[in-house]
Amino acid sequence: MVALAPRPGLVPSSSEDEVDDDAALDAYSVAVSTAADRLIPSVASLRVPRQVGGWAGGGAGSAVAIEPVGHLVTSAHVVAATERGTATFVDGSELEFRVVGRDPLSDLAVLRTTGGDPRPAPLGDADRLRVGQLVVAIGNPLGFAGTVTAGVVSALGRSMAARDGRNSRMVENVIQTDAALNPGNSGGALADSRGRVVGINTAVAGIGLGLAVPIDPATRRIIDALVVDGRVRRAFLGIVGGVRPLGEPMANRLGRRHGLEVVQLLEPSPAAAAGLRVGDVVVGLDGQPIEGVGDLQRRLIGEVIGGRLDLTVDRGGELRSISVRPVELAS
């Protein structure tokens, strides 16, 4: 028998390497379990009755308890065809809920429970996330309550189309994660390693590819509007646009590289009445930079309806100021 010589370049692992591996595993486990312990009591399993034609049926999803106490946030599509249902928590409590308001254009909805006050989850800020960061998904996939999966932030800044009747909108800054999501996870929490909710799981886009609506200043305003008013008022200009690179002289003048090109004007609309033209490139709104559709959408929220907005546009290499009065977007 001939003894085989060790393969060159392969060095046996040392006990120190094994210790390092154990420490890394423990740190990972502690982070996931800490987030789970903090959030599982705040995540509910939803049972949603539905009537389709003459048949009674039901749907399922997840929801997260938030402030003010007794309110839950979930995905709008989970409660799209109902006004009431039941929320069940891991401690066994079953609370009836009613839909306070839903906003299909952000895929967010707010519910109000009766008969109990579930523990609110702490909300984080998705704007602080980084690609590769650990995230934990908590929900009720396939009816299994309190399920925890973990992964990383795969990408940031994704866009997701949402529709409400004849109106459509891009949900901006969507979080992409490889944390396993399944039917029933929609409306559940996506949390950071400290157990702060940074997103509401909304879709399974493929194997190892889940999407979550971020919890950031824009979506906090949407949630607040749903809690207070039961709806979100959006302003309408009548612009269909897309990102366009600026010419070098204009880019150097403004200190940025892109603007929002007007590719179509809806008629009648405030933008058409104000004198915007197809081919104009919107580069500013009330002194704030506009570089794409998301920048414009984030500023077209309720308080600007009926007021005057000053659009700065690049028209043929010259900057012009155009005053426009947005109206409320009809549902």
What's the rounded Cα separation, in Å, for the pair 170 and 176? Answer: 15
CATH of the domain at 201: 2.40.10.10
88 with 151, same domain?
Answer: no
Token pair 């008022």: residue: 233
Whether residue 154 contacts residue 177, with contact meaning beta carbons closer than 8 Å, is answered with yes
Mean pLDDT of 70-85: 93
**Per-residue CA distances from 136 to 40, 68, 144, 153, 278 (Å):** 11, 24, 16, 10, 45
Identity of the residue numbered 276: L
In a domain, 20, yes or no: no
Tell me which residue of 45, 114, 55 sits closest to 78, measured CA to CA: 45
149 with 68, same domain?
Answer: no
Whether 252 has a pLDDT exceeding 90, the answer reads yes
What's the rounded Cα separation, in Å, for the pair 270 and 273? Answer: 5
Q: Is 165 helix (H, G, I), strand (E, B) or coil?
A: coil
Query: Which pLDDT value is given to residue 277?
Result: 94
Identity of the residue numbered 58: G
**Per-residue CA distances from 13 to 3, 18, 293 (Å):** 21, 7, 53
Token pair 């366009």: residue: 244
In a domain, 55, yes or no: yes
What's the rounded Cα separation, in Å, for the pair 238 and 270? Answer: 6
Q: What is the pLDDT of residues 265-284, one digit of tens each?
A: 888 899 999 999 999 999 99
Tell me which residue of 161, 156, 171 sits closest to 232, measured CA to CA: 171
In a domain, 62, yes or no: yes
Token pair 């979100």: residue: 232
Identity of the residue numbered 55: W
98 with 61, same domain?
Answer: yes
Query: Which pLDDT value is given to residue 167?
Result: 65
In a domain, 165, yes or no: no
What's the rounded Cα separation, in Å, for the pair 180 and 139? Answer: 11
* Residue ending a domain, choose from 182, 197, 225: 225
Query: Which pLDDT value is given to residue 14?
Result: 56
In a domain, 194, yes or no: yes
Question: DSSP for 85-146?
Answer: EEEE-TTS-EEEEEEEEEETTTTEEEEEEES--PPPPPB--GGG--TT-EEEEEE-GGG-TT
Q: What is the pLDDT of residues 120-168, one digit of tens each?
A: 999 999 999 999 999 999 998 767 778 899 999 999 878 777 766 666 6
What kind and span of H or E run contains 202? strand 197-206
241 with 312, same domain?
Answer: yes
Token pair 């998301």: residue: 294
Query: Which pLDDT value is given to residue 240?
Result: 85
CATH of the domain at 241: 2.30.42.10
Q: What is the pLDDT of residues 205-245, one digit of tens each?
A: 666 788 999 999 889 999 999 999 999 988 889 888 888 99
Look at the alpha carbons of 175, 204, 108, 192 in this order and tell me if their dihedral is positive or negative.
negative
What is the domain extent for residue 102?
A: 40-114
Whether residue 167 contacts residue 158, with contact meaning beta carbons closer than 8 Å, is answered with no
What percent of the chain is modeled with pLDDT above 70?
84
107 with 130, same domain?
Answer: no
End-to-end CA distance of the chain: 82
Whether residue 313 contacts residue 320, with contact meaning beta carbons closer than 8 Å, is answered with yes
Tell me which residue of 171, 331, 306 sits closest to 237, measured CA to CA: 306
Give residue 191's pLDDT band: very low, low, confident or very high (50, 70, 90): very high
What kind and span of H or E run contains 48? strand 43-52
User: Any idea which of 96-100, 163-167, 193-197, 307-311 has the lowest mean pLDDT?
Assistant: 163-167
What's the rounded Cα separation, in Å, for the pair 64 and 120? Answer: 8
215 with 149, same domain?
Answer: yes
130 with 221, same domain?
Answer: yes
Does the pTM surpass 0.75? The reply is yes
Number of domains into which the chain is organized: 3
Query: Which pLDDT value is given to residue 146?
Result: 82
Query: Which pLDDT value is given to residue 42?
Result: 95
Classify each residue of 109-134 as buried b or exposed e, where b means 16 or more C-beta atoms within 10 Å of its C-beta: bbbbbeeeebebbebbebeebeeeeb
Active site residues: 77, 107, 186
In a domain, 313, yes or no: yes
Mean pLDDT of 35-41: 94
